[in-house]
Amino acid sequence: MTLNEQHIIDEQAAYWHIANREPLANEAHNEFERWLQKEEHRNAYDALLQIETLFQTLPQEMQNSLVQESTPQKRVFTAYFKPLAAAAVVIFACIGIFEAYAYSQFKRTHEIQTAYEAQEILLPDASKVRMDASTKLSITYYDTKREVFLTQGQATFEVTKNEKRPFIVKSPHLDVSVLGTYFSVSYLNDLTSIYVLNGSVQINERANNALLATLKKGESLVFDGKSAHLLFVKPFDTAKFALWTKGIVSFDKTPLMQALQSFGRYNDLAFVTSEFDPSLVYVTGSFQSKDVDKFLFALRNIYSFKIERHEKRIVISPKTEALK
Q: What pLDDT is stored for residue 7 in this prediction?
A: 66
Q: What is the DSSP string of 230-298?
A: EEEEEE--GGGTTGGGGTEEEEEEEEHHHHHHHHHHHSS-EEEE-SS-GGG-EEEEEEETT-HHHHHHH
CATH of the domain at 201: 2.60.120.1440
Predicted pLDDT of residue 68: 59
Q: CATH number of the domain that 265 lies in?
A: 3.55.50.30
In a domain, 289, yes or no: yes
**Is 270 contained in some domain?**
yes
Does residue 301 surpass a pLDDT of 60? Answer: yes
Neighbours of 211 (CB within 10 A): 10
Does residue 63 sit within a domain? yes
Which pLDDT band holds residue 227 (cuts at 50, 70, 90)? very high
Clarify whether residues 80 and 154 are in a common domain. no
pLDDT of residue 148: 94
What is the rounded CA–CA span in Å between residue 303 and residue 166?
A: 49
The whole-number pLDDT of residue 75 equals 40
Question: Is 87 in the same domain as 21?
Answer: yes
CA dist 249 and 7 (Å) reads 41
DSSP 80: G
CA–CA distance, 139 with 216 (Å, rounded to integer)? 24
Split into its structural domains, the chain has a count of: 3
89 alpha-carbon distance from chain centroid: 29
Among residues 222, 240, 258, which one ends one of the domains? 240
Mean pLDDT along residues 90-115 = 58
CB 106 within 8 A of CB 29: no
Report if residue 110 sits inside a domain. Answer: no
Q: Are residues 224 and 285 in the same domain?
A: no
Instruction: Give long-range contacts, CB 8 A cutoff, 24+ apart: 307-315.
Output: 312/268, 312/269, 312/270, 313/269, 313/270, 313/272, 314/269, 314/270, 314/271, 314/272, 315/272, 315/273, 315/274
Residue 62 pLDDT greater than 70, yes or no: no
Range of the domain at 57: 3-103
101 has pLDDT over 50: no
Q: Is residue 108 part of a domain?
A: no
Residue 44 resides in a domain: yes
Contact 172, 151 (CB under 8 A): yes
Residue 133 lies in a domain: yes
Measured distance CA(220)–CA(234) in Å, rounded: 5
- Give me the phi and psi of 186, to 5 degrees please: -130, 145
Whether residues 171 and 281 fall in one domain: no
Residues 229 and 267 in one domain: no
Residue ending a domain, among 240, 258, 287, is: 240
Tens-place pLDDT, residues 228-244: 999 999 999 999 999 99
Residues 131 and 224 in one domain: yes
pTM for this prediction: 0.67
| Residue 44 shares a structural domain with residue 136 | no
Query: For 252-286, how does the pLDDT look when each residue is reduced to its tens digit (9 = 90+)?
Result: 999 999 999 999 999 999 999 998 998 899 999 99
- Give 121's Cβ-side CA count (13 Å radius): 29
- 166 with 273, same domain? no
- State the pLDDT at residue 84: 45
List, in order, residues 6 or more apart from 123 with CB less than 8 Å away. Answer: 103, 129, 139, 146, 160
The residue among 73, 103, 133 that closes a domain is 103
Q: Same domain, yes or no, for 96 and 126?
A: no
Answer yes or no: do 29 and 69 share one domain.
yes
Task: Determine the Cα–Cα distance for residues 36 and 166; give it in Å rounded to an integer.
Answer: 34
pLDDT in tens, 153-181: 999 999 988 888 899 999 999 999 997 89
